Chain A
Amino acid sequence: MISTKNITFSYNKDQTFIMPDLYCEAGSTILVTGNSGKGKTTYLHILAGLLQPKSGEIHIDKKEITHLKGSKADKFRGKNIGVVFQKSHFIASLSVLENLEMASWLATGKKHKARAKELLQKLDISEQAHKLPSQLSVGQQQRVSIARALMNEPKVLLADEPTSSLDDKNADNVIELLENLSKEYKTALIIVTHDSRIKQKFTNQITMV
């Protein structure tokens, strides 16, 4: 589970974002919506520990993370937070399977090949395991991203506009997958989006203004 309290952030003196508090139980989903430029992605980066907030607290599994610095923060992030981005990024020179193994190795020092294969199976892309990511379709790539985000059994799964570059059918699939998997793996799922196709599916919403 993840909860935040009084998070503020500023890139410079003139503009300060005040982030809404949120609370998300393991296995449930929160949608963070809002128009462009309202700091959705910034908020997600703060939650992922990629940006340091000016003030406030973030608790993930009862651990306060805003004070974590350097490699401790890297380690915590790798182990406890999975992120799915709008555009899929991969290590281009590694195969799909190796990309998953690398995600696991960077966080835990172990490759967990069996788990990687299981996830690929579950996401119906096990046939692509030995291809390079660039050889996959956009929809397949997004599914590999999800598999990678779940590799280390994170407490929190963050998704940044996961559907914006997908067609209706793929978007539906991805949302369904995210929801089902977060329930199955007891992960708190936070989706940041302005995609109206998703908004109607979730009741638990926070809008940034």
Chain B
Amino acid sequence: MIGKLAWKNIWFKPLNTILSILLLTASVAIITVLILVEKQFEEKYQSNLDGVDLVLGAQGSPLQLVLSSVYQVDDPTGNISFDSVKVWMNHPYVKKAIPLAYGDNYVGFKIVGTTPDYIEKYQAKIAEGKVFEHNFEVVVGADVAEKLKLKLGDRFKGTHGSAAEGEVHEHGEYIIVGIASKTGKVIDNLILSNIPTVWQMHHEEGHEEVAENPAHGEPGHVHHEGEEVAGNPAHGEEGHVHHEHENDMTIDEPNMEITSVLIEFKNKMGVFMWPTLIAQNTKMQAALPTYQMNRVFDMFGVGINALKYLAFGIMLISGISIFIALFNTLKERKAEFALMRVNGAKRHQLLLVVLLESMMLCFVGYLFGTILGRIGIVLLSEASESDFKLGFDPMEIIWNKEGLLFGLTLLVGLIAALIPAIKAYTLNISKTLANA
């Protein structure tokens, strides 16, 4: 009955109520989004870092190198000589070195030349088919396969660069030999091949530089092909995939370039020694992903904290709004309370009515806020999914932090109602009724 009365009282002044609930909803929604995004973001970024102690790549921004090599979100800093980086990959400190070569994409999904170690690093399994072995064989990530409805044996042509709108490579067709299992990490959104595939696909561009090298003189890029076919009837009827197969490049090709190398150390001293060592002795740079990502989080942290303060500010205002609403109506309701006392209501029952009203408001505000926040995450997730291939799960409940937020919301309600409730508790019935 007391609860029912409190509930009816709330909706007797709907405008006051809606204002308070709106403010609460806004602040709870913002905080919920921040809690979920912050945690899931850090989790995702952390899980991708497993097994990467250091990234070797071209000189430039170390953050850009980490973002492009580990998270696949930025453009690479440039290329490095595979011959010179090989020395470092075979260094006794190194436990595992995974080379990466970028070049193409297929409708926006990056095609990355690497070794099967890369798949292993992300604890992905080959769900269907097998690992790439020969040139132009690819393994597609789980999300790529799902979104593009790709299956084993499918063939496709790559587009140069990282944008889907780039120039299409007419001369090479990839064939899907494997589909990776879902990991929730960046690999889900990648198409993986071996390194020579990338080289061979881009040999066209490299052609001029290595023109003096007779070993490279012949094999196929589009412009040459026509001429060659004309001059060499033996190749006449062959499809160009086949044609290229005969002239496959291998990993041992000299004078080639790759984009970067992910290093895991046996001896963790490398983490401290390599950055200087690499900078002094090579034209490359060594970036520490943990350090770089901590910098990113520090930068984000400022923004996240600002948003948090804003949200708590709104919550404070909503508390004040509840207080003012209760305090104002208390004047009108004094007679009502006195009457309830005449009817046999005990002091603490009046206290309870006022507290319940405020806390019910806060409960409703929290409920709406947590729902609105999750709707916000769905929208945010759609945007970040297309921009960064990074999705957020709106259904995750982070019990300790969200529980704390719930408690805080109720506490705001309690504090806002405290003074009006005490006034109701200590109400002088006789005086109120005599003056009414």
A residues sitting closer than 8 Å to B (CB atoms) are: 41-42, 45, 48, 50-51, 70-71, 74-75, 77-79, 81, 83, 85, 87, 89-94, 98, 101-103, 105-107, 111, 148, 152
Q: Which of B6-14, B378-386, B412-420 contacts A (4 or more CB under 8 A)?
A: B6-14
Give A163 Cβ to nearest chain B Cβ, in Å: 17
Known contacts A89-B336, A90-B336: does B343 contact A41 (CB below 8 Å)? no
Contact across chains for B12 and A87 when beta carbons are under 8 A apart? no
B404 interfacial by beta-carbon distance below 8 Å = no
Contact, CB under 8 Å: B433 / A50 = yes
Which residues of A have CB within 8 Å of B346?
70-71, 74-75
CB pair B335 A41 closer than 8 Å: no
User: Whose C-beta in chain A lies nearest to the C-beta of B340?
Assistant: A106
Within 8 A of A (CB), among B420-436: 429-430, 433-434, 436
Which positions 321-354 of chain B face chain A at CB distance < 8 Å? 332-333, 335-336, 338-347, 349
By a CB distance below 8 angstroms, the chain A residues around B340 are 91, 102, 106
Instruction: Tell me whether B5 is interfacial, beta carbon within 8 Å.
Output: yes
CB closest residue in chain A, given B338: A89
Given A91-B5, A93-B12, A74 contacting B434 (CB threshold 8 A):
no
Report yes or no: A79 in contact with B12, Cβ–Cβ below 8 A: no
Q: Chain B's nearest CB lies how many Å from the CB of A43? A: 11
Q: How far is A152 from B342 in the complex, measured between Cα atoms in Å?
A: 12
Contact B347 A71 (CB under 8 A): yes
Q: Are A78 and B336 in contact (CB under 8 A)?
A: no
Partner of A90, one of B339, B344, B347, B433: B339
Chain B residue with minimal CB distance to A88? B339
Q: Which B residue's beta carbon lies closest to that of A72?
A: B346
- B-side residues, CB < 8 A to A, are 1, 5, 8-9, 11-12, 332-333, 335-336, 338-347, 349, 429-430, 433-434, 436
Q: From residue A154, how far is it (CB to closest CB) to chain B in Å?
A: 10
Cα distance A101–B434 in the bound complex, in angstroms: 25
Residues in A with CB closer than 8 Å to B338 are 89
Extra contacts, 17 of them, besides A71-B347, A74-B341, A94-B5 (Cβ < 8 A), are A48-B342, A50-B341, A70-B347, A74-B346, A75-B346, A78-B342, A78-B345, A85-B339, A89-B336, A89-B433, A90-B339, A92-B12, A92-B336, A93-B8, A93-B11, A102-B1, A107-B343
Least Cβ–Cβ distance between A7 and chain B, in angstroms: 15
CA separation between A78 and B429, bound complex, in Å? 14
- Contact A78:B436 (CB < 8 A) given known A92-B12, A93-B5: no
Residues in B whose Cβ lies below 8 Å from that of A106: 1, 340, 343-345, 349
Q: Which of A48, A91, A148 contacts B336 (CB 8 A)?
A: A91
Distance (Å) between the CB of B434 and the closest chain A CB?
5
Q: Which residues of A contact B429 (CB under 8 A)?
A: 45, 50
Known: A41-B434, A51-B430, A89-B335. A77 touches B342 (CB 8 A): yes
Whether A78 contacts B344 by the Cβ 8 Å rule is yes
Residues on B with C-beta less than 8 A from A48 are 342
Cα distance, A186 to B344, chains bound together (Å): 21
- Bound together, the chains give a CA A106 to CA B340 distance in angstroms of 8
8 contacts between A and B (CB under 8 A): A70-B346, A77-B342, A85-B433, A92-B332, A101-B1, A102-B1, A102-B5, A103-B344
Contacts of A94 in B (CB 8 A): 5, 8
